[in-house]
Structure 1
């Protein structure tokens, strides 16, 4: 039983233990990166395909006919699932591996915005503290999060863990009604939640109901001092509208780990260097060593389960 890993570097930079997956098959062939036009050539002759974000099309599947696709991510929109179902190809994914890593990152972004960490660090590097007439610099407003309200959109595993960390900081947590979902007594409709919160954190998937969830209208409802955090998916927030709100000081700050296009080869309005109190990180919230090692362990479990006739984490 042979396996091919199409995008090893998207998961492992030489710091992970993949021995479990290697022991579950007779051979693994590794490729650090695979482009869409290389997929067919590289998966032909292999029973198991290990992929992350590269697109695996119906044409690739019909010609190569692998038996299993192991996705080392939760999202599987890059795999033609209809074709897999028709061809009898099992698709599995990994789940729940990055809860602490993502929640930590979301709170880290919020803390950095509230303390103006980036701005003060930059001023120190540029010698502003050396030239100060006083023992300290207080050029940017610092906000205590204790006693403030955090709105959570998507109170699942990730949103729930983020809410737990926020409560430890003394914040009050409000949960938004799930877009497109049935009303729930412990959830607040988004239009009612936005004017109340001092910070908003997004943890929902990108769907037809959530695309453009936070646009000009919604941003205008928020306090001019409020922060918005997005470690979920690009496309949940209108990026042009967000930049406009930040530049016009109609929002306190924003911390984003995701963009509409990743990597942003065509540019992105959030990448301009003159936007006040904006922090953008490169979709790295999930990427702690511990979280990535859990992916390796789940990958091994997925392969072993499938080979033993007891597949786990099955998508198709």
Structure 2
């Protein structure tokens, strides 16, 4: 990993699972470096590929600092932290890893729904604060047989839908203007699933609404005041996708007016979420906020990290593959 090495350099800009970094360090075809203050210039001068997650913004200015960069590989599906147009203009290819995080994100979404319906975190906080919890006056809601609304019919959405039907024996309504096909009906069963072509048709019937779309111009503010008005009384909203899809001011209004049972939020406009930024939401007993940990399981971080490591090696060695997005 010296400055005179002729091997292609792979630079790791964000924290990756040790299994991924170990895989790169053991590979004799390439050099690898974890970015630091002391080696940043070498990375700019030599890196042919960079590995990122959501922590680092890959802006036009950042891209312009690299003289040899050919590939950007993102662990995960969302690429809103990467300027795809700037990468395209610079002749830099961008890849992501859709589907690998689906099980973990779906698990979190289901966990949040259950915690909110049964008031688990609310009750736990009361006990920790020394308050008396009267069981007959602390009733939750059952999700058994209820309807899940999935906005965004991709890899995560279908995994969550399967878990919902398996655990809750409920039904699923899906909305995605970009999805065409019958695979969801074939997998879930026509008696358990239907797709709607208008968002309001989902909002009006779903007991739990779960967001699984990327943040784009068309999805920013997708769930705002009008959408909260159309939702069922006592519905639960889950956002394990991206901050900005939900109008957070409108969400607070919906919670304070008791329109919603609660909200489980793993994605916020300001990340990581703080008490200063989200004091009002955090004070609400029916809100659970987590710091974008949907994919944060040991198993998935190892699996997806190693996948990215293998992919970047293949790319810099001229072996094509992976899911290219730009």
What TM-score, normalized by structure 2, do the two folds share?
Answer: 0.82
Aligned residues: 302
**Residue in 2 aligned with 1:4?**
11
Q: Does 1:52 align with 2:53?
A: yes
2:320 equivalent in structure 1: 311
Q: For residue 99 of structure 1, what is the aligned residue in structure 2?
A: 102
Map of 2:31 onto structure 1: 27
The C-alpha deviation readout for 1:105-128, integer Å capped at 9, x for no partner, is 000000000110012112222334
Q: What is residue 63 of structure 2 aligned with on the other side?
A: 61
The change in CA–CA distance for 1:167 and 1:264 in structure 2 (over 3 A counts) is same
Deviation string 1:196-246 (CA, Å, 9 cap, x unpaired) is: 221111111222222211111111122221111110111111111111111
Contact 2:263 2:288 in 1 (8 A): yes
Other-structure match for 1:257: 266
- 2:156 pairs with 1:149: no
> What 5-or-longer segments of structure 2 have no aligned partner?
1-7, 186-193
CA contact (8 A) 2:153 2:179 kept: no
- Normalised by the length of structure 1, the TM-score is 0.84
Q: Which residue of 2 aligns with 1:289?
A: 298
**Alpha-carbon distance change, 183 to 261 in structure 1, aligned in 2, over 3 angstroms:** farther
- Equivalent of 1:222, from 195, 209, 231? 231
Q: How much is the aligned-residue C-alpha RMSD, in angstroms?
A: 2.8
C-alpha displacement of 1:164: 0.8
* Alpha-carbon distance, 1:40 to partner: 6.2
Given the superposition, is the C-alpha separation of residues 291 and 303 from structure 1 closer, same or farther in structure 2, using an over 3 Å criterion? same
Q: Distance in 2 between matches of 1:269 and 1:244?
A: 14
CA distance in 2 between counterparts of 1:193 and 1:298 reads 35
In the alignment, is the contact (CA less than 8 A) between 1:243 and 1:270 conserved in 2? no
* Equivalent pair of 1:56/1:79 in contact (CA under 8 Å): yes
Residue 234 of structure 1 is matched in structure 2 by 243
Alignment partner of 1:208: what SS? coil
